[in-house]
Amino acid sequence: MDVYYVGTDKTKRTALLASDADVILLLFDRWDDFNFKTTFPTYCRIGGEVVELCPIRILFDGQKVSYSYLDELVANGWNGKFPVQGVHYISTPHSLTFYEQIDGHLDLNTAAEVAQVLRDASFMVHIAADPDSLRLTQSDGFSNSLQRERASVAAFLDGWRFFQQLGISIGNLVFNFKDTEGVVQPLQLNFGANSPLPHDINVLIGPNGVGKSQTLIQLVRSWLKLNPTEKEDVGFQEAVNINQVVVVSYSPFELFPMSSEGDRHYDPGERSDQGVYQYFGLRAFYPITDELGQERHGIRLSRDWPRRNAAHSLIQCVADDQRYGAIKSWSAKVQTLKDVLQGAIEFDEIALGMTGHFEEDAFFEEPTWVSSLIEVEPQESESNLPDAYLLVVPTEVHALKVDGMKKYVHDRSGIVFIKDGQPVQLSSGQRLFSYIVANILGAMRRNSLIVIDEPELFLHPTLEIAFVGMLKQLLASYASKALLATHSLVTVRELPRHCVHVYERTPDGVFINHPPFETFGGDIQRISSYVFGDKSVSKPFEEWLKVKLLEFGSADALINALGDNINEEMLIQIHAMAEGKW
C-alpha cells in the first residue's frame, strides 16, 4: 500500500487515483499546535472503496511546518512518495483506529508496512528501537503537537502493542487529588486484575460530603488539560492510555465540565479532538442572542436532554458501525445495544422517531429496506409524536443513511422500543436506563474511561443490578474501564474489595481505605456497617421497638403481641434490647 503527499495539488491527486491501487494520500492543513504545523488530513482508498481514516501528524527533524518542508522537497523533484529519504521524522495518528482500519480491510502486515514508511513513533521507538526516533520523541514538537491530543497519547503508548498483537487495556492508575480539606493525596485505581475477580469497575463510596464527586470532577478536568501550561498538584502520576472519557451524571447539582473546553461551548478552531470527551447530564448548551444581537451559547437545565442525547447517540452507533465495522476487534454497537437492553426491556427492535417532509429514500441505500419505516397515526391527545418510526435493525445498519437520520430525527422521542409493531410503554426508570446505555455506547471508543456519578439515582433496585451487569458487558466489549461515585451497596457487592475505595472523614482528615473483608458477593449489611457506620446510627424501627418494650414491659409480652408479624432477626433483637445488650 503506497502513501503519497499531494497537499493541494489536485492534478497529482487525480493522477494517483486513476489507478486501482490501494493508496493513502496526505492532504493539506494549516492546523497550528503551539506554532507547530504537523497535521495532514488523509484520503484512503482500499479495494476501490473510500475508507475514512483519521488525520496523522508528522514531525520532521528541525522543522516546525511540515507541509512547507514537503512542498519544498516536491519543488526540488521529490515525487511525494513515502518514505522520505535523507531526513529523520516520526508520526502519530490522531487515533490508533488509523492502523486498525488498515488491518481490518487488508491485514496486519500491511498496517505495519504503512507504520514503517510513516515512521510511526510507537513502532519506531518500542519495536524498531530507533535512536533518532527516540530523540525526536523527547522534543518540543513531539510533546506540543504529536502528543497534544489525548487519543494520540494513547496511540503512542499502545501502538506497538497493537502491531505485536498484545492485549491493549487501561491498567492500574494513580491519580493525585485534593480532598475536601485541601490535602493532596493519591487514589490508586486498581483496574489491572491480579486475580480472576473482575476489576473493570472501581467505586468511590462513603457518606455525603466527603468529596467523592469532587474527586471525579478533578480527574476529568485534569485529563482534559483545561489549563495545559499550568503546573498542578492534581493529576495522574504517569501518562495514561485513556482514549476517551465519558461522563454520565443526572444529578441536578453536578458541576462536571460540559465540553472539552470546560463550561463553554467549544470552538472548533481550538482543538482537533473535541470528541474525546462526552458529557451526558441534565445540562446542555443552547444558542442565545444577547442585547447586542450577538449569538452565543448559554447553558440550560432540562429533563429532556437525556432522551434527546440518546436519540443522537443511537445515530452515532450506526455511524461508528459503518465506519469501523472492518476493525477485527470491533463489537458492533447497534447489536450490542440491543443485546444489553433486552436483558431489562422486552422488545423486538429499537427505533428512532422521524419527522418532516422526507422521502422514503432519505434513510435507505436500497428501496428494499423501506419496510423498516413505520408510519405514526396522528392523535389529538398527543401533539409531540413523530411522523414515523425508523427501525434500527443490527443486520441492516449498512443500508441506513446517517445524514438523513440526522436531518429528520425527532429527538424528543428519544429511543423507542417496538414490540409487535407498536411502541412499548416504559417506566421512568426503564427509560433512563435505556438512555444511559445508549449514551455511553454511542460515545465509547476502545480504552474509554466511563465516569458515572451516583448511577443509582432514579433506578429501582432491580435496575440497579441490571445496570451493573450492563456496564460490565459494555466495558468488556470495548476494553474499557469505569469509575463510579455511589451510595449503592448493590454495586459494591459486585466488585472485589481492592476496587472499592471507602471515603471516611475523621478528626485527622479524610482517609481512603479498602474494606478489610472481601466485598465481591459479600453480605449487604456487613458492607453497609463498614462503609456508613450503621451500628452507630439508630434506625427508625429500633426506636419503635424501644418505645414498645417500655409500653409492654417485657420482651415476651411484646413478642406475644406481635404474633405472626415478626421475623427471626427482630426476635433476637427484641431479646437483646430487653437485656441491654443492643
**Does the pLDDT at position 339 exceed 90?**
yes
What pLDDT, on the 0 to 100 scale, is given for residue 355? 92
Dihedral angle computed from the Cα positions of residues 558, 560, 561 and 562, in that order, rounded to the nearest 10 degrees: 90
Confidence band of 462 (pLDDT split at 50, 70, 90)? confident
116-164 pLDDT, tens digit per residue, is 999 999 999 999 999 999 999 999 999 999 998 888 999 999 999 999 9
393-431 pLDDT, tens digit per residue, is 999 898 899 999 999 999 999 999 999 999 999 988 899
What pLDDT, on the 0 to 100 scale, is given for residue 567? 80
User: What integer best gives the mean pLDDT of the chain?
Assistant: 89
Confidence band of 291 (pLDDT split at 50, 70, 90)? confident
What pLDDT, on the 0 to 100 scale, is given for residue 368? 64
Higher pLDDT, 529 or 534: 529
Confidence band of 370 (pLDDT split at 50, 70, 90)? low
Q: Tell which residue, 73, 7, 13, has the closest CA to residue 37.
A: 7
Kindly list the distances between the CA atom of residue 355 and the CA atoms of 223, 284, 302, 382, 516, in Å, as whole numbers in the listed order.
39, 23, 22, 15, 56
Q: Would you state the cell numbers that stand for residue 230, as one nine-digit string?
A: 499550568
Confidence band of 453 (pLDDT split at 50, 70, 90)? very high
Is residue 188 within 8 A of residue 172, CB to CB? The reply is yes
**Does the pLDDT at position 229 exceed 90?**
no
160-207 pLDDT, tens digit per residue, is 999 998 878 889 999 999 999 999 999 999 998 778 888 999 999 999
Confidence band of 268 (pLDDT split at 50, 70, 90)? very low
Q: Would you state the cell numbers that stand for residue 259, as one nine-digit string?
A: 465540553
Among all chains, which residue has been given the C-alpha cell 466489549? 477
Helix axes 97-105, 305-324, angle to 10 degrees: 50
pTM here? Answer: 0.82
What's the maximum distance between 2 C-alpha atoms anywhere in the chain?
105
What pLDDT, on the 0 to 100 scale, is given for residue 163? 93
How buried is 577 (Cβ within 10 angstroms: 0-12 exposed, 13-18 middle, 19+ buried)? middle
What pLDDT, on the 0 to 100 scale, is given for residue 539? 66
Total residues found in the chain within this entry: 582
76-123 pLDDT, tens digit per residue, is 999 999 999 999 999 999 999 999 999 999 999 999 999 999 999 999
What pLDDT, on the 0 to 100 scale, is given for residue 536? 47
Is residue 436 within 8 A of residue 373, CB to CB? The reply is no
Higher pLDDT, 428 or 60: 60
**Does the pLDDT at position 537 exceed 60?**
no
Please tell me the least confidently modeled range out of 135-144, 216-225, 291-300.
Answer: 291-300
Higher pLDDT, 316 or 287: 316
What pLDDT, on the 0 to 100 scale, is given for residue 194? 76
Is residue 240 within 8 A of residue 170, CB to CB? The reply is yes
Can you tell me the mean pLDDT for 535-540? Answer: 57
What pLDDT, on the 0 to 100 scale, is given for residue 276? 84
Q: How far is CA 262 from the centre of its chain?
A: 17
In this structure, is residue 43 part of a structural domain? Answer: yes
In this structure, is residue 439 part of a structural domain? Answer: no
In this structure, is residue 121 part of a structural domain? Answer: yes
In this structure, is residue 285 part of a structural domain? Answer: no
Please tell me the least confidently modeled range out of 81-85, 163-167, 456-460, 535-539.
Answer: 535-539
**Does the pLDDT at position 231 exceed 90?**
no
In this structure, is residue 358 part of a structural domain? Answer: no
In this structure, is residue 568 part of a structural domain? Answer: yes
What pLDDT, on the 0 to 100 scale, is given for residue 534? 60
What pLDDT, on the 0 to 100 scale, is given for residue 563? 86
Higher pLDDT, 270 or 224: 224
**Does the pLDDT at position 380 exceed 80?**
no
Q: Give the ranges where 20-147 is alpha helix by DSSP (H).
A: 66-75, 97-105, 108-117, 121-126, 131-136, 140-141
**Does the pLDDT at position 297 exceed 90?**
no
Can you tell me the mean pLDDT for 547-576? Answer: 86
What pLDDT, on the 0 to 100 scale, is given for residue 254? 87
Q: Would you state the cell numbers that stand for residue 83, as one nine-digit string?
A: 518514505
**Domain tally for the chain?**
2
Is residue 419 within 8 A of residue 426, CB to CB? The reply is no
Q: Give the ranges where 266-413 is alpha helix by DSSP (H).
A: 305-324, 333-341, 402-408
In this structure, is residue 231 part of a structural domain? Answer: no
Q: Considering 142, 163, 184, which residue would you say is the last residue of a domain?
A: 163
What pLDDT, on the 0 to 100 scale, is given for residue 287? 79
Q: Considering 163, 183, 218, which residue would you say is the last residue of a domain?
A: 163
Q: Tell which residue, 259, 271, 386, 314, has the closest CA to residue 33.
A: 271
How buried is 23 (Cβ within 10 angstroms: 0-12 exposed, 13-18 middle, 19+ buried)? middle
Secondary structure of 391-421 in HEC code, one letter for each residue? EECHHHHHHECHHHHHHHECHHHCEEEEECC
What pLDDT, on the 0 to 100 scale, is given for residue 96? 93
Dist. CA 347–CA 341, nearest whole Å: 9
In this structure, is residue 110 part of a structural domain? Answer: yes
Residue 34, phi-psi category: left (phi > 0), alpha (psi -120 to 50), beta (remainder): left
**Does the pLDDT at position 371 exceed 90?**
no
Confidence band of 298 (pLDDT split at 50, 70, 90)? confident
Q: Considering 163, 181, 200, which residue would you say is the last residue of a domain?
A: 163
Can you tell me the mean pLDDT for 24-28? Answer: 96
Q: Give the ranges where 130-251 is alpha helix by DSSP (H).
A: 131-136, 140-141, 150-163, 212-224
Higher pLDDT, 389 or 570: 389
Dist. CA 236–CA 186, nearest whole Å: 9
Can you tell me the mean pLDDT for 210-220? Answer: 94
Question: Domain range holding 561?
Answer: 540-578
Instruction: Look up residue 120 and give its DSSP letter.
Output: B
What pLDDT, on the 0 to 100 scale, is given for residue 107? 93
**Does the pLDDT at position 383 exceed 70?**
no
Please tell me the least confidently modeled range out of 82-86, 379-383, 493-497, 551-555.
Answer: 379-383
What pLDDT, on the 0 to 100 scale, is given for residue 538? 53
